[in-house]
Structure 1
Amino acid sequence: MKDLPFKAIAIDVDGTFVNDEKKYDHEMFGEILYRLHKHGAHFIIASGRPAGRLEADFGDFIDSVDFVADNGAVLVRDGKIIHTTTFSKKCILNLVDYLQLRYPGAVQSTLISGVKHSYFLKSTPAQFKRSHHYFYPNSIEVDNFDQIPEDDQYTKVTVDYPSKVRRELEYGFNSRSVEKIHVTTSGWNYMDIIPQNVNKANGLKEFLAYLDVPRTQLIAFGDGENDIEMLKLAGLSYAMENGQDSVKKIAKFIAPSNNDNGVFKVLNKYLNETRK
């Protein structure tokens, strides 16, 4: 019998924690969370989902988990936003113009994430709106993106466009912009465009510093490209069996798939080996 080899747990959501139907076993999670807290371990949800969606997803446990939302752009502790890293509205509009110039059709399937609301064009294809409504229920439709308000804080731009252009897009826009971007993908065709140097790992570093937990005592789970920095940061890193090959190559271990309760199985294994 031994102590837990970690004091903080970071998990991605889609493709990792929830199954393909976007569900998880609340009762099982509650039991695991209780056992983890008995060991003084902290649970952090690190996701590309916005904070509002995560609060709805984990409403039963809102006082027991923290959030690294929008791929690290928004940090939530005790139900309150404690830090945001954002784009200016000017940068967002310059990015929209660049997409329109270099990637015809991309702007029509673009969503702009703000802390208060998210924004679609009225002309956006209905299928794209439907597929994102679950993640961004507080969405507003505008005639053009010039109409997005000055008083929101913009954390991410999601584009339905082949992700193979992500490096080209990042380099091309950054070569002409003072505000820099980073382009990543969660494993789907969509590209997530976030402020440069924003990622889940940097968000987690702030929580680890606050909690006084060294990175060697972090265990992390993920499946997509936007999890790579987080997995590299963690002392114990698990790629899901269903994850991308590039993620599996950098993780130290492989967990069962998201449809096989992989996160729960790994955490239960560690808990069952401990004294408490």
Structure 2
Amino acid sequence: MTNGPRPVAAAPTVVALDIDGTLIDHDEQLSEAVVDAVRRTAARVPVILATGRAWSTTRPVAERFGLPSGGFVVCSNGARTLQYPDGRVVDERTFDPTTVIASVRKYAPNARMAVEEHDGSYLVTAPFPDGDLGVGAKIRVVGADELAPEPVTRLIIRDPEQSEADFVQLAERLGLHGVSYFVGWTAWLDIAPEGVDKSTGLKVALAQLGLEPDGLLAIGDGRNDIEMLTYAGRGIAMGSSPDEVKVAADEVTKSVQDDGVAAILNRWF
């Protein structure tokens, strides 16, 4: 990993961008410099949004950037790959969360849980803090026994009273097997099907586009971006990323508040 800019190499043939903490800050603000850089890039090469968000809260971001029709978005941390703008599901990976839900009820009885529905809405065991599931996300409160009557693409565990470190320990106590999981910035645990991460969806999207990962430029800031950054020919971590994300990246750019994405894209586009 290098902390400074590398010499300008051949232009990427495709770009993958995380949303939260990369394009948009934690106050849901999006700078015009980043909008302009992404729009110019999308006019030259495919731009794929690769996010933990559901389709319902990803689509407005794609619309804000004016991404061209016929492209792809990777949602739910790689469990769903969809075509933009019609939302046609190209690939979906699911798992049975019953065992994990039972473990959460045992080891973290005060935690809130959520699963994503096919339409991008959420079933939740209790309301999440405002904006946690995306601004405008639709939710329906159900009992834990009603949370997952069928396999799901993701299970989210959240406890606003706990810390990020607490949830790192919780993941260890839960003894998660047969699934993939990512600890977020706050007391947030995102559980996905085994072996599924953002690179899973990107492989599907690149196959659809007839492109190779060597030409992929990926930018992200979270632990759920690590596999994406290592899969890409050029992986860039945001300046505010945890250390393990920076170590996995080829380079570290500025923070989202300092328009780090624009600083990278402006080299080529």
TM, length-normalised to structure 1: 0.81
Is 1:72 equivalent to 2:78 in the alignment? yes
| C-alpha spacing 1:148/1:159, structure 2 compared with 1 (3 Å) | closer
Moved over 4 A (4+): none
| C-alpha spacing 1:169/1:209, structure 2 compared with 1 (3 Å) | farther
Alignment of 1:23-172 (within 5 A): 23-25=29-31, 29=35, 31-39=36-44, 41-60=45-64, 61-64=66-69, 65-79=71-85, 80-87=88-95, 91-106=96-111, 109-116=112-119, 117-121=121-125, 124=126, 128-132=128-132, 134-135=134-135, 137-142=137-142, 144-148=143-147, 150=149, 154-161=152-159, 162-165=166-169, 167-169=171-173, 172=175
**Could you list the runs of 5+ residues in structure 2 that have no partner in the other structure?**
1-7, 160-165
- Is the helix fraction higher in 1 or 2? 1
Alignment of 1:264-275 (within 5 A): 264-271=262-269
Contact 1:118 1:136 in 2 (8 A): no
Contact 1:20 1:259 in 2 (8 A): no
Q: Which whole-Å CA distance do the structure 1 matches of 2:131 and 2:47 have between them?
A: 28
Q: Which whole-Å CA distance do the structure 2 matches of 1:114 and 1:75 have between them?
A: 15
SS at match of 1:159: strand
- Structure having the higher Rg: 1
Alignment of 1:168-207 (within 5 A): 168-169=172-173, 172-174=175-177, 180-207=178-205
> 1:63-119 CA distances to partner (integer Å, 9 max, x unpaired)?
3552110100111113222221112xxx3333211211233323xx11122223311
SS at match of 1:221: strand
Match of 2:25 among 16, 19, 23: 19
Q: Which whole-Å CA distance do the structure 2 matches of 1:225 and 1:28 have between them?
A: 22
The alignment yields a C-alpha RMSD, in angstroms, of 2.4
| C-alpha spacing 1:78/1:134, structure 2 compared with 1 (3 Å) | closer
**Identity, % of aligned pairs?**
24
| C-alpha spacing 1:104/1:7, structure 2 compared with 1 (3 Å) | same
TM, length-normalised to structure 2: 0.83
1:78 maps to a residue whose letter is Y
| C-alpha spacing 1:3/1:183, structure 2 compared with 1 (3 Å) | closer
Partner of 1:250 in structure 2?
248
SS at match of 1:130: coil
Report the count of equivalent residues: 251
1:120 maps to a residue whose letter is V
